Amino acid sequence: MVKLIALVRKRDGMEHDAFRRYWLDVHAPLAAAIPGMRGYRINVAGDPGAMPPAPYDGSAEIWFDSRATMEAGLASPQGVIAGDDTAHFAASIEFLVTDETVILPEGGA
């Protein structure tokens, strides 16, 4: 399993709520159509409280069975559409391609 993690900064001047709405309501359905995806999560940053703020406004996690499946999905027409759409809400995106190691499964111990 390969996980693609996208670290996202919102467009300059875009309000947090508008960023969140666009990413979840418009972009997410486009990205969810990318062939070969096994899972997809969006994490929109909230108020960090007493912690220092992160340099990102959110992240996305997308799972694929293999690197080849990921590359094919991102190069597909649906992948190109989703990639092009990021300009509507993101100033920049940095990607990590990772091998996930689950330490504590969902639902806890």
86-104 pLDDT, tens digit per residue, is 999 999 999 999 988 888 8
Q: Which domains are delineated in the chain?
A: 2-47+55-98 (3.30.70.100)
Q: Answer yes or no: is pLDDT of 105 > 80.
A: yes
| Contacts with 107 (C-beta within 8 Å, 6 or more apart), sequence order | none
User: How much is the pTM?
Assistant: 0.90
Strand order in the sheet with 58-64: 37-44, 58-64, 2-10, 90-98
